[in-house]
């Protein structure tokens, strides 16, 4: 049974709803009253200076970090200490890390098939077909039998993307996926992300790649010292920032 | 218009070593200090080696079967070793007081262990189902020639089972059996085949009663794994069999009183055989317990963490000898009068937990070297704790700590000699007992050297094996 959507305040149906979230590391207030709604299929870019809580925020969405106040609802599932719910939310989300975090003792192919086989109970043959499908999509099918240590950074990050896709997530979380890469490799990873965006995936992306934000993002969120300072569509965000803090950050990051 | 740029072609690296002279110059005489050390070592070798070789090899007495040969050789002025002593006593050195007619059981148990472990220990050697099948058949033939039909059948069943299980067993066979799917049929077929093999084996041995017990236990273990784990690879089944079916089979083979085999109580066990039993079970039990202790010590649950810390610190604070004493003398005092545990079993438990504490700390060190990102990536992919540990974190950790674990295994092997203090006669114990034999007084050197040599061979093999493992798993390449 589907209930008719309520008169939409946002254009899309929300898949992630964050309301009044606060988080502390001991005495340090790292997230301050965060309110954010992400629509299904939306591409959200989160930027802000280092230490502003961007990573912490997106890591709260798949419960790698625990928030202490407020509510986070992902695709209708509210995150609590209930292991079952955490598990359900992690089924819906995939996450990319700055330093890839591939499993170094397994080949690229094994990295891709391990989770489908053991977590989704997929037969190995099927998992391998799926893995090759996504390796094609990230344009490195010939690396299947290499170990991560034998691949370049850009290739490793693309393997990591394929590894997430093999679990068929609805939402992808990116935590500075290109920050550890040489300039020549950034493009190959961004290309894959752009391709992914065009397929309708919901994406939350912490990045300083402003070109990517301009072309792909539906909305840009700027954070500083644990707060969301402002959010807007990329055009307005880059051309007419509301706050001087945002303008200062943008001028730093765009003309260095 | 920019010019075209061409990269320079690579040139071969200059080579400095030419022949053995170059090698010697580079490695032995590269500096005045090194040259001096080389010459000094040479002098020490020249001073000691010839007399050692003369005593141990050239002047030694090898032939004969009684003390007289050595005594007459000594009167003729030869001051060499008397290896006749070892030769005459060899069976006791190897088997202790295990009845002579039953010693084939020890041989078969150890041979089966070798055959069961080989595909696991050297995965690169036996790759592919065809090779593994041929290996199993060849092994069965070998057993047929050495130990006869029942042993050959058992060997064949044991080695072929891991190969037969993966294609036969589908996902969660029993759940699907009741759902009436096709996979259920194959599970049923498999169970019938399994029951038939076991029955055949039992019938072949027949005669003595009591065979039903071990067979039922083996069957039950396999069924439990089938129900709860379901489809697994051949190598996973090999591990499972090695840790479930093999110990059971070994236990029943060695102790007897089933399959028409006469009972051999553990106080007849001794010599190298006992050393291997203690070391083997010690290694096989200490490692899993050590892994659990290491995980427990890192647990976020305070009760579990405290218990593990307390246990590890307690065990590390006492010597193994006192643990063995406690196990053999104190422990029975706390038991009700009619309950007794075998002395060997108590020693095994003591050693297992003692070494588990040490291995736990080695493994914990390895766990700390695993980047936090590995845990996060696994959790983000939806891995629950135990599966993540078993399939992602532990494989990496164990590879990292191979040198440390090899250290523990080596000292475990050598510490088995301490079971002598509670009256069990391992290789060294038997050697000492033989020295006290009035017929052979005065050959302590030979007995000690023989025992030392045997230990050295085993330890060296283990140490080389750990190097082989490190190389196969390219551990050094993972985190750079
Ligand atoms: N585990 C932790 N314990 C204490 N402080 C932390 C921890 N993780 C992050 N922080 C602090 O929280 C702040 C926000 O961190 P983070 O979310 O990683 O920022 P960003 O990703 O925006 O650079 C930083 O000041 C950091 O020092
Ligand atoms: Mg960050």
Cβ atoms A130, A122 nearer than 8 A: yes
Number of structural domains chain B divides into: 1
pLDDT of residue B80: 81
Between the ranges A134-138, B54-58, B223-227, where is the mean pLDDT highest?
A: A134-138
pLDDT of residue B177: 46
CA of A41 to the centre of ligand 2 (A): 23
Orientation angle between helical segments A108-119 and A124-137, nearest 10 degrees = 130
- Ligand 1 atom showing the smallest separation from residue A206 Cα: 21
Q: Report CB contact under 8 Å: A105, B473.
A: yes
CA separation for the pair B316, B83 (Å, rounded): 40
pLDDT of residue B443: 83
Using a CB-CB cut-off of 8 Å, the residues of chain A touching B392 are 103, 114
Lowest-pLDDT range of A26-40, A187-201, B15-29, B264-278: B15-29
> What is the band of B15 on the pLDDT scale with cuts at 50, 70, 90?
low
**Is the CB of A50 inside a 6 Å radius of any atom of ligand 1?**
yes
Segment B81-96 shows an average pLDDT of 88
Sequence-ordered list of residues with C-beta below 8 angstroms from that of A197, at least 6 positions apart, any chain: A43, A203, A216
Q: Can you give the pTM of this predicted structure?
A: 0.86
pLDDT of residue B16: 62
pLDDT of residue B354: 95
Q: Which segments in chain A show pLDDT lower than 50?
A: 1-10
A58 touches chain B (CB under 8 A): no
Q: Counting ligands in written order, which one lies closest to the CA of residue A223?
A: 1
- Ligand 1 atom showing the smallest separation from residue A226 Cα: 14
Edge-to-edge strands of the sheet including A43-47?
A93-96, A171-175, A202-206, A43-47, A219-224, A227-232
Nearest to A248 by CA among A224, A217, A213: A224
pLDDT of residue A6: 43
Distance from CA of A125 to the nearest CA of B (A): 13
Distance from CA of A101 to the nearest CA of B (A): 6
CA separation for the pair B284, B269 (Å, rounded): 20
Using a CB-CB cut-off of 8 Å, the residues of chain A touching B373 are 97, 99, 101
**Is the CB of A23 inside a 6 Å radius of any atom of ligand 1?**
no
**Is the CB of A25 inside a 6 Å radius of any atom of ligand 1?**
yes
88-147 of A, contacting B, C-beta below 8 A = 90-91, 93-95, 97, 99, 101-105, 114-115, 118-119, 121, 123, 147
B61 found inside a domain = no
- Ligand 1 atom showing the smallest separation from residue A48 Cα: 22
Cα dihedral A136, A142, A145, A151 in deg (nearest 10)? -100
**Is the CB of A55 inside a 6 Å radius of any atom of ligand 1?**
yes
CA separation for the pair B263, B34 (Å, rounded): 62
pLDDT of residue B18: 67
B317 found inside a domain = yes
Domain of residue B356, CATH code = 1.10.3720.10
pLDDT of residue A10: 47
A63: left (phi over 0), alpha (psi -120 to 50) or beta: left
Nearest to B370 by CA among A189, A246, A103, A37: A103
> What is the band of B176 on the pLDDT scale with cuts at 50, 70, 90?
very low
Q: Report CB contact under 8 Å: A95, B377.
A: yes
Q: Report CB contact under 8 Å: B377, A102.
A: yes
Using a CB-CB cut-off of 8 Å, the residues of chain A touching B384 are 83, 87
- Ligand 1 atom showing the smallest separation from residue A50 Cα: 23
> What is the band of B211 on the pLDDT scale with cuts at 50, 70, 90?
low
B469 found inside a domain = yes
A149 touches chain B (CB under 8 A): yes
> What is the band of B182 on the pLDDT scale with cuts at 50, 70, 90?
very low
Helices and strands, number each (H, E), in chain A: 9, 10
Distance from CA of A79 to the nearest CA of B (A): 14
Sequence-ordered list of residues with C-beta below 8 angstroms from that of B444, at least 6 positions apart, any chain: B435
Nearest to B273 by CA among B391, B127, B419, B405: B419
**Is the CB of A52 inside a 6 Å radius of any atom of ligand 1?**
yes
Q: Report CB contact under 8 Å: A87, B384.
A: yes
Q: Examine the pLDDT at B203 and tell me if it is beyond 70.
A: no
- pLDDT, tens only, B328-347: 887 777 777 776 778 888 89
ipTM over 0.90: yes
Count of C-beta atoms within a 10 Å radius of residue A2: 4
Whose Cα sits closest to atom 26 in ligand 1?
A51
Find the closest chain A residue to B399 by CA distance: A105
B188 found inside a domain = no
Nearest to B366 by CA among B407, B398, B388: B398
B236 found inside a domain = no
- pLDDT, tens only, B41-50: 999 999 999 9
- Ligand 1 atom showing the smallest separation from residue A25 Cα: 4
Lowest-pLDDT range of B122-131, B258-267, B335-344: B335-344
Q: Report CB contact under 8 Å: B473, A95.
A: no
Q: How many whole angstroms from its chain centre is CA B350?
A: 18
A219-224 vs A171-175, strand pairing mode: unpaired
- More confident position, B156 or B378: B378
Q: Report CB contact under 8 Å: B477, A149.
A: yes
B170 found inside a domain = no
Q: Counting ligands in written order, which one lies closest to the CA of residue A50?
A: 1
**Is the CB of A31 inside a 6 Å radius of any atom of ligand 1?**
no
pLDDT of residue A39: 95
- More confident position, B454 or B240: B454
pLDDT of residue B310: 96
A73 touches chain B (CB under 8 A): no
B108 found inside a domain = no
- Count residue pairs from A and B with Cβ separation < 8 A: 67
CA separation for the pair B114, B359 (Å, rounded): 24
Nearest to B198 by CA among B184, B218, B173, B183: B218
Cβ atoms A42, A202 nearer than 8 A: yes
**Is the CB of A207 inside a 6 Å radius of any atom of ligand 1?**
no
Using a CB-CB cut-off of 8 Å, the residues of chain B touching A177 are none
pLDDT of residue B286: 96
Which residue, among A61, A82, A94, A105, would best test binding to B if mutated, counting the most B CBs under 10 Å from its CB?
A105
Which residue range(s) make up the domain with B462? 269-480
Q: Report CB contact under 8 Å: B380, A93.
A: yes
Q: Examine the pLDDT at B183 and tell me if it is beyond 70.
A: no
pLDDT of residue B196: 57
* Angle, CA A8 vertex, CA A7 and CA A14 arms, to 5°: 130
Q: Report CB contact under 8 Å: A105, B391.
A: no
- Ligand 1 atom showing the smallest separation from residue A176 Cα: 21
């Amino acid at each position: 049974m589907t209930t008719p959507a309520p008169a939409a305040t946002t254009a899309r149906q929300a898949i992630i709803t964050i309301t009044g979230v606060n988080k502390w590391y001991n005495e340090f207030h790292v997230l301050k009253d965060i309110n954010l709604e992400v629509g299904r299929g939306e591409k959200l870019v989160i930027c802000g200076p280092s230490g502003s809580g961007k990573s912490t925020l997106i890591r709260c969405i798949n419960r790698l970090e625990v928030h202490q106040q407020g509510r986070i609802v992902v695709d209708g599932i509210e995150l609590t200490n209930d292991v079952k719910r955490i598990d359900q939310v992690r089924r819906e989300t995939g996450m990319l890390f700055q330093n890839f975090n591939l499993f170094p003792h397994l080949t690229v192919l094994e990295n891709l098939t391990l989770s489908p086989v053991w977590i989704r109970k997929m037969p190995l043959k099927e998992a391998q077909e799926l893995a090759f499908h996504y390796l094609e999509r990230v344009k490195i099918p010939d690396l299947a039998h290499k170990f991560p240590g034998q691949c370049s950074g850009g290739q490793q990050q693309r393997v990591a993307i394929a590894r997430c896709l093999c679990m068929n997530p609805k939402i992808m979380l990116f935590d500075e996926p290109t920050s550890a890469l040489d300039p020549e490799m950034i493009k190959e990873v961004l290309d894959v992300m752009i391709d992914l965006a065009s397929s309708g995936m919901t994406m939350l992306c912490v990045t300083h790649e402003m070109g990517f934000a301009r072309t792909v993002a539906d909305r840009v969120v700027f954070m500083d010292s644990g707060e969301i300072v402002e959010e807007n569509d990329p055009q307005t965000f880059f051309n007419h920032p509301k706050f001087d803090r945002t303008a200062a950050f943008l001028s730093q990051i765009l003309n260095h | 218009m920019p010019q075209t740029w061409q990269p320079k072609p690579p040139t071969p690296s200059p080579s400095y070593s030419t022949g053995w002279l170059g090698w010697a110059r580079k490695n032995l005489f590269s500096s005045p200090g090194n040259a001096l050390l080389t010459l000094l070592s040479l002098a020490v070798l020249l001073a000691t080696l010839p007399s050692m070789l003369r005593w141990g090899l050239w002047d030694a007495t090898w032939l004969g079967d009684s003390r007289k040969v050595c005594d007459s050789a000594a009167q003729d002025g030869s001051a060499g070793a008397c290896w006749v002593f070892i030769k005459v006593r060899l069976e006791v050195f190897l088997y202790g007081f295990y009845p002579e007619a039953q010693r084939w059981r020890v041989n078969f148990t150890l041979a089966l262990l070798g055959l069961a472990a080989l595909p696991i220990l050297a995965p690169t050697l036996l790759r592919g189902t065809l090779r593994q099948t041929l290996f199993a058949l060849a092994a069965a033939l070998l057993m047929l020639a050495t130990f006869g039909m029942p042993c050959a059948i058992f060997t064949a069943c044991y080695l072929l089972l891991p190969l037969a299980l993966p294609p036969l067993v589908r996902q969660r066979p029993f759940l699907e059996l009741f759902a009436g799917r096709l996979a259920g049929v194959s599970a049923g077929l498999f169970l019938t085949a399994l029951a038939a093999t076991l029955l055949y084996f039992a019938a072949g041995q027949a005669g003595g009663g009591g065979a039903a017990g071990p067979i039922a236990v083996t069957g039950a273990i396999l069924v439990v794994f089938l129900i709860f784990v379901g489809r697994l690879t051949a190598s996973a089944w090999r591990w499972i069999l090695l840790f479930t079916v093999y110990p059971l089979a070994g236990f029943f083979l060695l102790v007897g009183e089933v399959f028409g085999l006469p009972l051999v109580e553990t106080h007849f066990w001794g010599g190298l055989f006992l050393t291997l039993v203690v070391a083997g079970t010690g290694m096989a039990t200490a490692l899993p317990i050590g892994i659990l202790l290491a995980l427990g010590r890192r647990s976020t649950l305070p009760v579990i963490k405290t218990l593990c810390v307390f246990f590890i610190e307690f065990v590390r604070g006492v010597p193994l000898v006192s643990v063995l004493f406690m196990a053999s003398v104190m422990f029975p005092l706390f038991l009700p009068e009619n309950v007794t545990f075998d002395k060997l079993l108590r020693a095994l438990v003591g050693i297992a937990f003692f070494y588990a504490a040490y291995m736990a700390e080695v493994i914990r060190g390895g766990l700390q070297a695993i980047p936090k990102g590995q845990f996060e990536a696994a959790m983000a992919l939806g891995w629950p704790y135990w599966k993540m540990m078993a399939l992602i974190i532990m494989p990496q950790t164990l590879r990292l700590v191979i040198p440390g674990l090899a250290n523990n295994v080596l000292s475990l092997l050598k510490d088995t000699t301490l079971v002598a203090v509670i009256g069990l006669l391992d290789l060294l114990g038997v050697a000492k007992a033989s020295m006290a034999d009035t017929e052979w007084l005065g050959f302590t050197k030979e007995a000690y050297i023989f025992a030392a040599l045997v230990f050295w061979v085993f330890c060296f093999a283990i140490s080389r094996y750990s190097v082989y493992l490190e190389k196969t798993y390219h551990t050094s390449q993972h985190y750079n």
